[in-house]
Chain A
């Protein structure tokens, strides 16, 4: 490149630099884009808008489909939180169930005049041959002894079979070895309730329930009749609900009726029970009669 051509080149370059300087100066002074700027903007703006539209579309696709990795993590966290809350809810429901059982127990304790001990069931029966539940008692085995009745607000549960430390085994009335003297209040018929030892239910039967004579048909036990403890034998206080008659099979021959009883207590949902430690105090013979105390300080009549 010759010197002259080089000088021309650099001069042209210098002039090209002056042009933007002038444009800048003009723009800064006027504060508004010039007509040329407007014309270029009129051409470039739609182009810019189109590119922006395409990029935003791609960005939207990214955020809707590709960038779902974050959503996956979030879902995992939410699932974990959901699981934790479900566990909490289950624990709360269990606790509410326990509280409800304890409230029933407290109510029963208020209604029962006898000395009682509250207990929580810690194990249930696993075999139909030995219908036994294990309970945890808040008093030691010095106060709870075998043979003591165990009840809930629904009715009779059974009797204490063995007591050791703070625990006791309760033989349910559904056990085949259990025997409770019961009475059907409507008919006045008496019998002995024993467990059937069935594998699929806690049903019981009443033995030795006398069959009524022909003219006395009202003494016939019917399905739905309530069965309560008779109080005979002093093993159980009288009047504790035991269950309802579920099935009656009357034969034309024989002295006794065959009656099956559905227990009043649902043994599968047994949570808390009450042990009757001592019988209720004897009734006050002077109850209901007016009492006159001896005057302590007043002047006695001569």
Chain B
């Protein structure tokens, strides 16, 4: 239920972002779209308490829905988000995503990793790639946008997570970002 709620909220945010981004007067920054699906997947991995499988399911579904929204080949974002969920789960006990700087850094890193994974998967599946400079610019822009918008999304996801906490301790941990 918790994972489904997080996935649905992330999907709603993706819908809103897709609609808003189109009408915002961003000019050259229009390509710098925050990767909310990657952040959600990373959060699912970070906060997976009883096993990785439910979190990977959530991450894959978020990625899949994002693919359908943005018109990417279905499975591309899903696979990338699944991998990010696993990476998030692997670093769960090693890093503590708390504080402004660490949260921004984590979100930026997640955005960069997601962009890199998508480039790699496109290369593996013989999908068209832009010039290296363009791809690198897009990667940096995505990472920067994700670093900017990610902390807010993480804060929202933690709030939602806290409502599913069974004990007061779990609730406090969820709000403070302690898995």
Contact = CB atoms under 8 A, between A and B. Distances in A.
Interface of A: 1, 5-6, 9-10, 12-13, 16-17, 19-28, 33-34, 37, 40-41, 44, 47-48, 51-52, 54-56, 59
A52 B19 contact: yes
Contacts of A26: 75
B68 A41 contact: yes
A24 B52 contact: no
Contact of B65 (A5, A6, A27, A44): A44
A23 B68 contact: no
Given A17-B79, A17-B86, A20-B79, A1 B50 contact: yes
A51 B63 CA distance: 19
B19 A24 contact: no
Nearest to A15: B53
A13 B52 contact: yes
B130 interface: no
Contacts, number: 92
Contacts of A51: 12, 15-16, 18-19
A13 B127 contact: no
A48 B15 contact: yes
B60 interface: yes
Nearest to A67: B25
B82 A37 contact: no
Contacts of B60: 16-17, 19-20
A24 B16 contact: no
B143 interface: no
A23 B125 contact: no
B16 A55 contact: yes
Contacts of A40: 64-65, 68
Contacts of A47: 15
A80 B16 CA distance: 41
B44 to A, nearest CB: 12
Contact of A17 (B50, B69, B83): B83
Contacts of B50: 1
Contacts of B82: 16-17, 20
Given A24-B73, A25-B125, A56 B56 contact: no
A52 B74 CA distance: 21
Nearest to B55: A13
A9 B18 CA distance: 34
B141 interface: no
B33 to A, nearest CB: 15
Contact of B23 (A20, A21, A59): A59
Contacts of A28: 73, 125-127
Residue among A16, A17, A44 with max Cβ neighbours from chain B (10 Å): A16
B51 interface: yes
A33 B74 contact: yes
Contact of A16 (B19, B20, B22, B53): B53
